A and B are shown apart, each in its own frame.
Chain A
Amino acid sequence: MKGTVIIIGGGPAGCEAAHQLAEKGCRVHLVEKNNETGGNLNNWYQLFPDRKEAESVRGYLRRRVSRPGVEFHAGTEPRTTSRRPQGGFAVELTDGSLVEGDALLVATGFRTFDAARKEEYGYGIYENVITSVELENLFANHEVRTSRGETPRRVGIIHCVGSRDEKVCNYHCSKVCCVTGVKQAIELREMLPEAEVFCFYMDMRMFGPGYEEMYREAQERHNIKFVRGRLSEAAENQEKQLQIKVEDTLVGRPLRMTLDLMVLLVGMEASEGSRKMASALGLELAPNGFIRPADPHWGTNLTGADGVFVAGSCTAPMSLTDTLADARSAADSITEYLDAKESREP
């Protein structure tokens, strides 16, 4: 036994790291505030770029942690976190239990941007404005309809809602919304073949393998129209449609359009859990609110606090692929730390 590791957060990063650490001979306490693993992935239907069912990844994660060496603490979260006098950590959980470990991994993920903060888009007020997360839920139920139960004939997907937006104090790019928008636009066209689908974007950041190809396919095969321009405001008409105002920056003209359904691609923000753990452990936050790792190049899983590690999107917006890789990297960093600690001890 190398040692015991406490992992806060049972999303993809926490689960993958738990498995890797158990494989390497560590005992793991995996703490998750919800009753099941998966985190934000539980809100998704299909994944980019291969349109894999999110459920298959959720199943993969469940299997990863259903093994000897991993103790899953569900439906609970840290109440107090402290350093033990003899080294390591003691975490008192809200269910009254106490877990102790030699190292602590923060894998508290992200939260999606509250779309109501972009007041001019009317989320929570206009009946046919939904978020990208809510659209995933409609996909899962295999039915996309307007509030009046009609089949939408024109759908607009608004990129960068809560990302790269000084007005809501979020300067950062959420990285995965562009390709999510492309994926959702294709899904909409498949589900609603008669509907027009428009994506309103600032830049299309197709950085991952298969992303650019998917973007091209969206245009050539699915006839999805991409308009480079930011939505300035939306209003609701008597038919409960959305009347939107956008600037088409490629044409250099303002554009007005009526939509039956408007989807807001909500960005990522630091989760409440990340902020709490940062406060409890004295971790530094970056200006965007995410936890700042020790170094952006060689110390992405390390923090300024001895024995405290980070993995996944608690440090920055990250795709699922990158999250899983980052979790494996964090597991390596932790075992290196535990090995070094063991070799120092008499």
Chain B
Amino acid sequence: MKLEGKEQIWKDYQKEIADDRYYYARSCIRQTFFPGSEWAYLDILRNRLGKDVMDDPRHTTCTGIGYHSDVVPAQTIMTVVARHFALMTEAGYENITPSCITSFGIYTEILETWAHHPEVEEQVREYLWKATGREFKKPRNLAHTSDIIYKFRGEIAARARHRLVDAHTGRPLRGVDHIGCHYAKMFPSKGIGGAEFPAVLSGMITAWGGEAVDYPERRHCCGFGFRQYLVMANRGYSVANSKKKFESMRPYEPDFIVANCPGCAMFLDKWQYTISEMEGTTYGANGYGIPVLTYEELAGLVLGYDPWELGLQMHQVAVEPLLDKMGVAYDPEAKYLTRDGKEMGRPKCPTYLKV
């Protein structure tokens, strides 16, 4: 593969990302499955990089999952998003940074719709006024939170406690980047590196000492696909998509997967257990799975956060093989202890997947 060809594409797909003063829009599901991710993001931005981030408790779902499942009409989701913009405006911010890739895609799609159809924007402004009495300014800058971490990847590298390098051999760790479909596939110009060879996560991997793996099914959907998972009868499609990716990446022997979409991180993590139970197949070394991290978790590990503080014990696939390679110190006995030292309960041991 010719790196210079990719670099040319990356030059063509750069985007403006605000330097500071971010209005944060949380994800519906990221906190559930990766409970330390959004906390780590806020801590890194505020306390390590000294940025101003507004985390607003009044912010709600964008209703994107309902929209993509055909149960929420376009006018409704646009009005909900208009309320987010109103909250941002009232708080005195101009730069909106959603944590969820679906929300990022929704915001992008709505702003593009309004740019091409101002009459729709006017209609939505009227809906919002009638429903809430609120008005809004459109964001000056829209960036996904992975864009923000990408922007500050050099600063994070400068503060790194652990690099993405095998601490025992010096080998760069091989990282698979998985980009959520709604990050750039709908609007390639809105993603760092475009839709075909996105650089937002691979840029973090290389900046932190690792090696980004480009494998044949890199672009393929994780399998969430909304209705593929939400309709129970379709879940076989969802698992099949993830399996396709795992089979394709396995020959490259990746040390970890990093994803920027909360749904992708969840499915790539959980379906490894499902596939192991269905077929007895595991994709990591020695019966383990391939650890799956959110980019906030990956940044947290690089910066020296405690893995259990980051919530990595909530992953389906054990992260210990990665921690050992990176030389991250951890207390195995503390894995399932709450902050005040109580047992939080332990998951059942899978039949095949080593944890």
Contact = CB atoms under 8 A, between A and B. Distances in A.
Given A119-B196, A120-B196, A126-B1, A235 B218 contact: yes
A328 B9 CA distance: 43
By CB atoms of chain A within 10 A, which of B2, B9, B251 has the most? B2
Given A119-B194, A119-B197, A127-B1, A236 B216 contact: yes
A235 B1 CA distance: 10
A238 interface: yes
Interface residues of A, number: 15
Interface string A232-244: 0101111000010
Contacts of B4: 124
B6 interface: yes
Contacts of B1: 125-127, 236
Nearest to A121: B196
Contacts of A280: none
Nearest to A123: B5
B251 A238 contact: yes
A127 B194 CA distance: 20
B187 interface: no
Given A119-B9, A119-B196, A237 B2 contact: no
Contacts of B6: 125
Interface in B204-220: 214-219
B330 interface: no
B216 A127 contact: no
A116 interface: yes
A238 B197 CA distance: 17
Contacts of A127: 1-2
A125 B218 CA distance: 15
Contacts of B219: 233, 235
A125 B216 contact: no
B216 A237 contact: yes
A124 B216 contact: no
A116 B252 contact: no
Contacts of A122: 5, 196
Contacts of A237: 215-216
By CB atoms of chain B within 10 A, which of A126, A235, A238 has the most? A235
Nearest to B12: A119
A184 B42 CA distance: 58
Interface residues of B, number: 19
A145 to B, nearest CB: 17
Nearest to A237: B216
B8 interface: yes
Nearest to A235: B216
Given A119-B197, A120-B196, A243 B5 contact: no
Contacts of A116: 5, 8-9
A235 B215 CA distance: 7
Contacts of B8: 116, 124
Contacts of A120: 196
A127 B8 CA distance: 15
B251 A125 contact: no
Contacts of A123: 5
Contact of B5 (A125, A233, A235): A125
Contacts of B251: 238
A187 B197 CA distance: 33
Contacts of B252: 238
Nearest to B3: A125
A126 to B, nearest CB: 7
Nearest to A244: B216
A243 B9 contact: no
A125 B217 contact: no
A230 to B, nearest CB: 16
Given A126-B2, A236-B1, A237-B215, 7 more contacts: A124-B8, A126-B1, A233-B219, A235-B214, A235-B218, A236-B214, A237-B216
18 contacts: A116-B8, A119-B194, A119-B195, A120-B196, A124-B2, A124-B8, A125-B2, A125-B9, A126-B1, A127-B2, A233-B196, A235-B215, A235-B216, A235-B218, A237-B215, A238-B251, A238-B252, A243-B216
Interface of A: 116, 119-120, 122-127, 233, 235-238, 243
